[in-house]
């Protein structure tokens, strides 16, 4: 069984892959080119792709009888893979749910706090050498404790964020999802995204990417937010209409935004980069050694199950 891993991994993951499988590991950190994806489908039994490897219907159409039988995605989000086209080509898909949850929720809180309390701006001020000292009205931000947070998509990560907001910051939690959630803290499901957006101080986006959620946060949702409202996105860039977000921020319709992901990643519009009220992180959600190793092991567990003829632990529906 030949395995292709699409990016360099942590040492622990690379060691396991090489010990257990006939493994090739790409040395590039950039997404796979179309030519590389065609080779991957033709010459390997299993591929471990990740964010940015666009396994589209067009790619599968060019390899009608792939040697590859499993895309063991490294990451919980798999919106870069056309799952229906994969299935049509006889290629199963798995992902790494759970391994990413707490780390991504922590980054959501980082963005919420940094944006509300102007931490990025303050850090830039200190670094610039222009800070003139404390005074009672210096850099007043938005209070966080006890405020109202709205979670868009109360799944694994959404719930971990809500739990932090409730237990750590005494916040009121409201949400929208496709179904009611049974959670161990008070949380109100709102009738619509617009109602949620209008009610809360912080709107945190935690839905999967893909066609169904593209531009879910659009000009109407942003217009419904309070002028003091802050948007946080740790989901996928395409879930937020970035042009509408820039307009809403420029016009003062909302107070700020904390972003880990971007619509045309890694391109970040100059307009956003110029705004002090925006916190910009380079997709750090799961970026710790432990978490990336945990994700790698989970992806590898799917590879091992596949090789042994067992059910995949984390199949993608």
Q: Would you say 274 and 55 are in contact if contact means Cβ atoms under 8 Å apart?
A: no
- Residue 156, interface with ligand NAP (CB under 6 A)? yes
Strands (E), the chain: 2-5, 22-25, 46-48, 70-72, 92-94, 148-152, 172-176, 188-189, 202-205, 230-233, 256-259, 278-280
The residue with its CB nearest to ligand NAP is 155
Q: Would you say 99 and 299 are in contact if contact means Cβ atoms under 8 Å apart?
A: no
Sheet containing strand 22-25, strands side by side: 22-25, 2-5, 46-48, 70-72, 92-94
- Choice from 222, 232, 234, 259 touching ligand NAP (CB under 6 A): 234
Q: Would you say 4 and 44 are in contact if contact means Cβ atoms under 8 Å apart?
A: yes
Question: Of the candidates 23, 19, 20, which has an alpha carbon nearest to the alpha carbon of residue 5?
Answer: 23
- Residue 261, interface with ligand NAP (CB under 6 A)? yes
- Choice from 127, 135, 178, 273 touching ligand NAP (CB under 6 A): 178
- Choice from 41, 48, 70, 76 touching ligand NAP (CB under 6 A): 76
Number of residues in contact with ligand NAP under rule CB under 6 A:
29
- Residue 260, interface with ligand NAP (CB under 6 A)? yes
- Choice from 49, 120, 150, 209 touching ligand NAP (CB under 6 A): 209
Q: Which stretch binds ligand NAP (CB under 6 A): 27-35, 56-64, 200-208, 309-317?
A: 200-208
- Choice from 5, 37, 176, 300 touching ligand NAP (CB under 6 A): 176
Q: Of 3 and 196, which CB lies nearer to ligand NAP in the complex structure?
A: 196
Q: Report CA-CA distances (Å) from 307 to 112, 130, 171, 227, 303.
A: 42, 60, 46, 54, 6
CB of 255 to ligand NAP, least distance (A): 22
- Residue 256, interface with ligand NAP (CB under 6 A)? no
Q: Would you say 83 and 52 are in contact if contact means Cβ atoms under 8 Å apart?
A: no
Chain-centroid distance of CA 5 in Å reads 21
Q: Which stretch binds ligand NAP (CB under 6 A): 27-35, 128-136, 171-179, 302-310?
A: 171-179
- Residue 77, interface with ligand NAP (CB under 6 A)? yes
User: Known catalytic residues?
Assistant: 236, 265, 283
CB of 174 to ligand NAP, least distance (A): 13
Q: Report CA-CA distances (Å) from 34 to 65, 154, 274.
A: 17, 35, 34
Q: Would you say 239 and 213 are in contact if contact means Cβ atoms under 8 Å apart?
A: yes
- Residue 116, interface with ligand NAP (CB under 6 A)? no
Q: Would you say 17 and 4 are in contact if contact means Cβ atoms under 8 Å apart?
A: no
CB atoms within 10 A of CB 185: 12
- Residue 154, interface with ligand NAP (CB under 6 A)? yes
- Residue 235, interface with ligand NAP (CB under 6 A)? yes
- Residue 104, interface with ligand NAP (CB under 6 A)? yes
Residues near ligand NAP (CB under 6 A) are: 76-77, 97, 100, 104, 153-158, 176-179, 206-209, 212-213, 234-236, 260-261, 283, 285-286
């Amino acid at each position: 069984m030949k395995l292709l891993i699409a990016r360099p991994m942590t040492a622990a993951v690379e060691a396991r892959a090489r010990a257990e499988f006939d493994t090739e590991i790409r040395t590039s950190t950039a997404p796979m080119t179309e030519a590389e994806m065609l080779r991957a489908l033709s010459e390997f039994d299993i591929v471990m792709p990740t964010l940015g490897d666009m396994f589209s219907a067009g790619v599968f159409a060019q390899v009608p009888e792939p040697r590859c039988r499993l895309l063991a995605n490294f990451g919980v989000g798999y919106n870069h893979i056309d799952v229906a086209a994969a299935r049509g080509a006889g290629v199963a898909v798995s992902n790494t749910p759970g391994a990413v949850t707490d780390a991504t929720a922590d980054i959501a809180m980082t963005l919420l706090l940094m944006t509300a309390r102007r931490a990025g701006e303050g850090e830039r001020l200190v670094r610039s050498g222009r800070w003139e000292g404390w005074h009672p009205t210096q850099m007043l931000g938005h209070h966080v404790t006890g405020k109202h947070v709205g979670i868009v998509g109360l799944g694994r990560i959404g719930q971990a964020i809500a739990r932090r907001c409730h237990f750590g910051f005494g916040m009121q939690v409201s949400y929208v999802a496709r179904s009611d959630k049974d959670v161990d803290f008070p949380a109100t499901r709102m009738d619509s995204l617009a109602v949620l957006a209008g009610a809360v101080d912080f709107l945190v986006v935690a839905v999967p990417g893909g066609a169904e959620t593209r531009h879910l946060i659009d000009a109407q949702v942003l217009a419904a937010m309070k002028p003091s409202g802050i948007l946080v996105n740790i989901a996928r860039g395409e879930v937020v209409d970035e042009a509408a977000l820039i307009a809403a921020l420029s016009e003062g319709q909302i107070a700020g935004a904390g972003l880990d992901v971007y619509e045309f990643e890694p391109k970040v519009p100059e307009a956003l980069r110029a705004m002090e009220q925006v916190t910009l992180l380079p997709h750090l959600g799961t970026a710790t050694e432990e978490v990336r190793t945990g994700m790698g092991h989970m992806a590898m567990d799917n590879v091992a199950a596949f090789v042994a003829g067992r059910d995949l632990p984390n199949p993608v529906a």
